[in-house]
Every structure is written in C-alpha cells, then in structure tokens.
Amino acid sequence: MSQTAKHSSWAYSEDHDSQDPLFAAARVREAHLGSQQVSAGTASALSVLAAASQARALVEIGTGVGISGVALLRGAPQAAVLTSIDSEADHTSAAAETFRAAGVAASKTRLITGGADQVLPRLTAGGYDLVFINSEAQQVGAYADEGLRLLRAGGLLVVNDALDSDRVPKPAVREASTQAMRALERSVLEDDRLVSALLPTGTGLLVAVRR
Ligand SMILES: C[S@@+](CC[C@H](N)C(=O)[O-])C[C@H]1O[C@@H](n2cnc3c(N)ncnc32)[C@H](O)[C@@H]1O
C-alpha cells in the first residue's frame, strides 16, 4: 500500500466515531486550559479495550478534560470505577464537568488532584484491571512500572502518545520524550510478563496485557 493510501486509511479510521457532541464541548474546555485530549479514534479504542477486558477498576494518569475517562467508562461494565489523577486542579474541575455532561454518576469516578509520582505508590498493588497513562512523556517509564505493580494478572496497560507525535519512527530525532517512548517500547517487548502491541491509533497506543 502506498504512503498516501495508508494516510487516507488512517485518517478515515480516526473519524470512525467522531460525531459525538461531547467532543465539541470538551474541546472548548481543552482550548481554555491548554490540555490536549485524546483523538476520537483513540477514544473509540479506549472504549473497546475497557469493554473487551471487562475492566471494573481502572486507573488513569492525566485526567485532562475527561474525554479519555468518559471513553473508558463507556466501554467498561456498569460497576466500574475510574480513579483518575491529574496534577492540575482546574483540569480536574473541567473533567468533572465533562463527566456530568456525559451522564456519568459521581460514584463512578475518583478524581485525585496530585502528582502521579505521589499518588500512584498509595494505590493497591494488583488491585486494578486497566491502567491508562496519558501525561508527561519523560516520566512514562516510571509510571508504567507503577502501572504494572497495580495490575492484576490479565490486566491491561495502555500508554497514549506512544509514537510521540510521529517522532518515534524517525531515528534522527533524539528528543527526551521520543527517547522515553522508545525505551518504554523496548522494555515492554523484553518483559516476559507482557503480551504487547503498538497500535498507530491517534498519536500511538502501546497496549500490553500482564500475563
Ligand atoms: C494530554 S493531557 C490528558 C488528556 C486526557 N487524557 C483527555 O483525553 O482528556 C495530560 C494531563 O496530564 C497532566 N499531568 C502532567 N503531569 C502530571 C503529573 N506529574 N501527574 C499527574 N498529572 C499530570 C496534565 O495536567 C494534563 O491534564
């Protein structure tokens, strides 16, 4: 397949479920806060991953305006609870608004304002079915280690922006964020506990199941 055809297919897939009015409203909040939410394609993929894994206890690092959180809860079973962490209080408030607008009951989310490095060590080891990481790339390795500690056997680790805005495949790019994503991909591949895939959805989704 030519590069142009591949690009069209990718763009078409990204629009698979992009008509949701929730996105438009959240994009306004996003523009005010300077936070970048997941793409429509990534949101669909998150819903499917949460549904397929039947995740009841979920952790998210990087709540942002709440789009990824809504997507995860849409796919997850009725009884699911999402623990979502963000260091910025105004992002947590914007996300609470997005959850309300999406009809998510307050009891289904535990929104924590704080640095992930402080909060993650306080969460129960082996107590979670799915961990989604969507915050600063330089810390992704440390957060993935913590995420694996939190996952039960069969649990799912999902990392957004795993292609670092399309920089990962370009060998000449040596940005710290790019290097961090490459190192994470390598360590996931070398970890015998994990079965993984790197999906080109959105800005790249690294998905790994803990055996
Ligand atoms: C790309 S945005 C998340 C977008 C969100 N997942 C969505 O789809 O709406 C990244 C978020 O990570 C948060 N963040 C950055 N560093 C953090 C840290 N050390 N601990 C927790 N959150 C952090 C930022 O405040 C920002 O809201």
The model's pLDDT over 165-197, given as tens digits with 9 standing for 90+, comes to 999 999 999 999 999 999 999 999 999 999 999
Which of 108, 128, 120 lies closest to 66, judged by CA? 108
Q: What percent of the chain has pLDDT over 70?
A: 98
The model's pLDDT over 88-116, given as tens digits with 9 standing for 90+, comes to 999 999 999 999 999 999 999 999 999 99
Task: Please say whether the beta carbons of 86 and 65 come within 8 A.
Answer: no
**What atom of ligand 1 comes closest to residue 95's alpha carbon?**
9
Of residues 10 and 60, more confidence is placed in 60
pLDDT above 90 (res 18)? no
Cβ-Cβ contacts under 8 Å for 149 (sequence gap 6 or more): 125, 126
- Is residue 36 lining ligand 1, measured as CB closer than 6 Å? yes
Which of 51, 46, 41 lies closest to 18, judged by CA? 41
Residue located nearest, by CA, to atom 2 of ligand 1: 64
**DSSP H/E element including 190:** helix 176-190
C-alpha angle 115/118/120, rounded to 5°?
Answer: 95
| Backbone phi and psi for residue 37, each to the nearest 5 degrees, phi listed first | -80, 165
Single pTM value for the model: 0.95
- Is residue 185 lining ligand 1, measured as CB closer than 6 Å? no
Give the pLDDT of residue 112: 98
Which CATH number belongs to the domain containing residue 187 in this structure? Answer: 3.40.50.150
Cβ-Cβ contacts under 8 Å for 101 (sequence gap 6 or more): 22, 25
C-alpha dist (Å) from residue 12 to 7, 166, 196:
9, 18, 25
Residue 108 lies in domain:
3-210
Burial 31-63 (b: 16+ CB within 10 A, else e): eebebebbbbbbbbbbbebbeebebebbbbbbb
Cβ-Cβ contacts under 8 Å for 11 (sequence gap 6 or more): none
Ligand 1 centre distance from Cα of residue 172 (Å): 27
pLDDT above 80 (res 24)? no
Ligand 1 centre distance from Cα of residue 103 (Å): 22
| Backbone phi and psi for residue 177, each to the nearest 5 degrees, phi listed first | -65, -40
pLDDT above 90 (res 3)? no
ipTM value of the model? 0.99
Of residues 16 and 154, more confidence is placed in 154
Residue located nearest, by CA, to atom 22 of ligand 1: 86
Give the pLDDT of residue 1: 62
The model's pLDDT over 138-157, given as tens digits with 9 standing for 90+, comes to 999 999 999 999 999 999 99
Whole-number Å distance between alpha carbons of 12 and 33: 28
C-alpha dist (Å) from residue 128 to 22, 175, 197, 204:
27, 32, 20, 23
Domain count, the chain: 1
